Amino acid sequence: MRPSLLITLLGLITLSATAQKKDYNILTYGAKADKHFKNTKAIQQAVDAAHNAGGGRVLIPDGNFVTGPFQLRSGVELHLADNAILLGSANRMDYPKSGPLALIYAGGQQNIAITGTGVINGQGRELVENVLYLLSKGEITDPQWKVKRPTEKNRPVILSFDNCQNIKVTGITLKDASGWVQNYNKCDNVLIDSMLVQSTAYWNNDGIDITDSKNVRIINSTFNAADDAICLKSEDPLAACENVVVENCILRSSASGFKLGTGSIGGFRHIKVKNLTVYNTYRSAIALESVDGAVLEDIDIRDVKATNVGNAIFLRLGHRNTNDRYSTLKHVYIGNVRADIPAGKPDIGYPVEGPPPKVPPHNVVPSSITGIPGHPVEDVVLENIEINYAGGASRDIAEVKIDNLASVTENVAGYPEFTMFGELPGWGLYVRHAAGITIKNLKLTVDKVDFRPACVFDDVKGLKLQKISIPTVNQTPAIILNNVTGMSMQKMDLPGDLKTMIKMQ
């Protein structure tokens, strides 16, 4: 090939690549960095121009730009410059009365992205104040605002993607939504990388929700949320969250850190989680909840460090739905977990604290694996788990006697959270209605005297205990086995003989 021809071809390739990444600066379409100027039209025009040209990058330059809701379209990358701040309108009337309620929405689109290191601020607190004002004037309606708080019909999310393919959201900061921060519903091939979420402006501020989506990666990101930090949901009986990877993330929540559920109608399959740091979290560091008929299976969670959290591990199979479809929860591996459980409320001092439970327990609550009669949690492995509890439980304040374990409420249809049973009879681990439970290398410690046994197993078929270490026992026996069959034990490290430390009932 002649050198001149080669240079020409390379030039054409370069031009083609450049054309594919053409920038559409919103300033060109009339945008202004002025807090009194709404840039909705300018941003939408830039997005549409990029889309109509076959794809391109819409640039939000340095500055503060106020906008109402706009739609992202196929082939468009929304890029926020380092010092760009996109401010969601704080006027409820700028958002639609019905339909998708989001600052940035995409439905049925492909190859879309939000990149850069700028900030998208939903101005959630200011927006809710406006919602309350409009409700008081009767200009908008809401069925719950006088009873509890305005519903999601009046509280927009920041990002909402429905039935989209090939989504990339990287580098940005999402701040202060009035409801969920972001939701990816029935999407395929989603990458969330190096994202920072700071959203404690109002209730129900889940950091990120993945709903019935597949092939999702959430990596290298930090979530500080007034509600669940990372939450996978299933709202369609014919759909599921599948092939989801969560790695190298830091979580803080006034609810739970990493959660599957509460919405659990369809399913959760092939979920892998690795290297989480969870801190100052009100409820559970890890919560797997299947209560609406979902199939929850093939879950692998490893390398979790949880400090100052209300609970370490919570696995719950319930029956909240009113039809005859029962949930399943099986094939779960949780390994390499280190957790510290204090006596006080872990999220005290945050702008929105988690609400107290309806039936608050008086004593520190253990980790738990619970099914319901006739529908056990199945095939769970806990390996290399170390949990330290504050202890300090008082028999005078509350006690569940070990010869009356049936007094613990089943709460079959209750909202799933670690305090849903009220008082529990053990301080370290409570397992009821389960089958095929393997626990390897479990160490439980307690700071202050606790009158309860460390572990209670009730109605368990197939229980393997290998290398269980409970170095400090204030109450004997340390382990209660009630209606347990298919039992095996190896290398039990308890401060006394097994006959003293383990009681079969």
Q: How far apart are CA 402 and CA 478, in angstroms?
A: 11
Query: What is the helix (H) or strand (E) element at residue 46, kind and residue range?
Result: helix 40-52
446 domain residue, yes or no? no
The string of DSSP codes covering 251-307 is EEESS-SEEEEEEESSEEEEEEEEEEEEEEEEEEEEEEEE-SS-EEEEEEEEEEEEE
431 domain residue, yes or no? no
Largest CA distance in the chain: 93
Q: Which residues contact 83 (CB under 8 A, 6 or more apart)?
A: 62, 63, 118
36 domain residue, yes or no? yes
For the chain, the average pLDDT equals 94
Backbone angles phi, psi at 344, to 5 degrees: -90, -175
124 domain residue, yes or no? yes
What is the per-residue pLDDT across 24-42, written as a single tens digit (0 to 9) for each?
999 999 999 999 999 999 9
How many domains are contained in the chain?
1
What average pLDDT score do residues 9-22 get?
47
The pTM (predicted TM-score) of the whole model is: 0.95
Whichever domain contains 72, its CATH number is 2.160.20.10
Q: What angle do CA 288, 292, 293 make, to 5 degrees?
A: 95
Q: How far apart are CA 202 and CA 204, in angstroms?
A: 7
Q: Give residue 363's domain range.
A: 23-401
Beta strand residue intervals within 392-490, DSSP E = 429-448, 455-469, 479-490
Burial of 271 from C-beta contacts in 10 A (0-12 / 13-18 / 19+): buried
What is the per-residue pLDDT across 438-480, written as a single tens digit (0 to 9) for each?
999 999 999 999 999 999 999 999 999 999 999 887 777 999 9
What is the per-residue pLDDT across 90-102, written as a single tens digit (0 to 9) for each?
999 999 988 889 9
Q: How far apart are CA 412 and CA 410, in angstroms?
A: 5
150 domain residue, yes or no? yes
18 domain residue, yes or no? no
Cβ count near 482 (within 10 Å): 18
190 domain residue, yes or no? yes
One-letter amino acid of 443:
K
Residues in the chain: 505
435 domain residue, yes or no? no
